[in-house]
Amino acid sequence: PRGIRTFAGTDAAALRRDALAMWRRPLLRGALAIVWIWTAIVSAFVHPLNDSLARLALAHLTGLPAQAALYAACALDFAFGVATLAAPSRRLWLAQGALIVAYSAVIAVTMPGLLAEPFGPVLKNVPILAILLILFAEEERS
């Protein structure tokens, strides 16, 4: 019988890297899609509408424009989730990153209290941006 070093050979590191690469992108895409789709569903159908509108009022959106913005954001989040699974591309990762940065900037300016929130709703955008960076770097489609 051959020893483990002979069996795995000198390509063990490359084999491990390739094996990890096979499931990394699907795992990251699946996790990201769940975040986008669940956010859309909760925002549109679960979270109390009055609470959402009160939060949007802090960003100076009220009345019909606030409702339109809320449901447009839900539709965009849902579309991003579906596209993450069905049509991944560098443009998609850039668009998602841009939206996250825009959302975070609006929150930082109009709702700065959320930056110090113990559950870290804004801080959680950092690992999502890291996931998008990995997906962007590894994506073959523009």
Residue 1 within a domain:
no
DSSP for the chain, written as a single string? ---HHHHH-TTHHHHHHHHHHHHHHHHHHHHHHHHHHHHHHIIIIIS-HHHHHHHHHHTT--HHHHHHHHHHHHHHHHHHHHHHHH---HHHHHHHHHHHHHHHHHHHHH-GGGGG-TT-TTTTHHHHHHHHHHHHHH----
Residue 104 within a domain:
yes
Q: Is residue 48's pLDDT more than 70?
A: yes
Residue 4 within a domain:
no
Report percent pLDDT > 70 for the chain. 93
pTM equals 0.85
Please tell me the total count of domains within the chain: 1
Model confidence band, residue 10 (pLDDT cutoffs 50, 70, 90): low
Check residue 41 and give its pLDDT: 98
Domain that holds residue 122: 11-138
Model confidence band, residue 13 (pLDDT cutoffs 50, 70, 90): confident
